[in-house]
Amino acid sequence: MDVISDVLRSVRMTGAFFFDVTNHAPWVCGEPGEMDILGRILPEHDFLVPFHVVLYGSVFLEMDSPRPLTLALEAGDVVVLPGGNAHFMMSAPGMRAVVDHAAYDPPIGPRQVLRYAVNAGNGSPVHSRVICGYTGIDRRPTHPLWNALPPIFRVRAAAHHRDRLLHLSALGVAESEDYRTGADAMLAKLAELMFVEAVRQLIDDPEQQVHGLVAGLRDRHIGAALKVLHAESSENWTLESLAQRVGLSRSVFAARFAALVGMPAMQYLARWRLVLAARLLERPGTSVAQAALDVGYTSELAFQRAFKRQVGVTPSAWRKRSMVSKAETGVAVRA
């Protein structure tokens, strides 16, 4: 069982938008926090995750947060902000600008021009080129991947990956501009491919500081336990049986799992089952009782209570919302 593939398959990216920005030094752009522009770019989504791909030149990214951060970026770098934090990008450290929220309003018209030039009137040559992407994500139920990712992370694409990122970025801008039939699906898939590539590189880089699920996967015993939980999630696991399966004592296993993953093993399993159940309920024809049974609940009532407590709505309400969403986007559904 490839746990990361299993987890990434359950991430629901429901839309995306791409901007192509060419910068002429000196330049600075203020990027609002996700909730400040969610209603402008992707108003029908729950959360917005920004990411940036540096195609040419060099860029500094800074966040004015309780822990100030400065990243020096170069061509081929990808920055993902799972926390959706406000930030600034600039040609030299320390620059600031007034954040213009209206700049994130998509242009109106049959062909939307989403290519921008910053400070182009000063006559200086092109300093850098950045693709700014924003993907809409459904983070409910609480997904183990979001607990494992830092608020911001930078990955440096290997040389043989850069052409791939450039191609995906160019496709994203073209789809955002043309907005042809099926554009929402195409943009979501493009953003998903770029997101998956960034997460893979984050996990594979031993120098990256990780925690949660990713930290657990790097440990031999806890990684083995996570593979078992994902491969056999509907089984009636106990702490004792899981510890025995991976060759540790109950106490050592419990302490190590909680320390690395950030929660007890049985709590992780319970949350993962609800993620799986939410995705099952989005499938036409899947009843609440069937979803409960498929993820390992012997009591439908217990499943309904757990789902409502974790997700905030009942399984039936979640299923209905999914059907309405698909109907609005032209996807055929049946009760």
For 320-333, write each residue's pLDDT tens digit: 877 655 544 444 33
R_g over Cα of the chain: 22
Please check the confidence at residue 105 and state whether its pLDDT lies above 70: yes
- Quote the DSSP letter at residue 106: P
pLDDT value of position 252? 97
Q: Which of 285, 18, 304, 262 has the alpha carbon at shortest distance from 135?
A: 18
pLDDT value of position 228? 94
- Sorted by where each begins, the domain ranges of the chain are 3-204, 212-327
Q: What is the mean pLDDT of the chain?
A: 83
**pLDDT (tens digit per residue) in 62-85:** 998 777 899 999 988 889 998 888
Which 3 state secondary structure label does DSSP give 77?
A: strand
pLDDT value of position 221? 96
Please check the confidence at residue 175 and state whether its pLDDT lies above 60: yes
pLDDT value of position 108? 54
pLDDT value of position 180? 74
The CATH superfamily of 212-327 is Homeodomain-like (1.10.10.60)
Best mean pLDDT range from 5-19, 53-67, 286-300 = 286-300
Sequence length of the chain is 335
Task: Answer whether 91's CB lies under 8 Å from 27's CB.
Answer: yes
pLDDT value of position 157? 65
Task: Answer whether 114's CB lies under 8 Å from 106's CB.
Answer: yes
The CATH superfamily of 3-204 is Regulatory protein AraC (2.60.120.280)
pLDDT value of position 23? 93
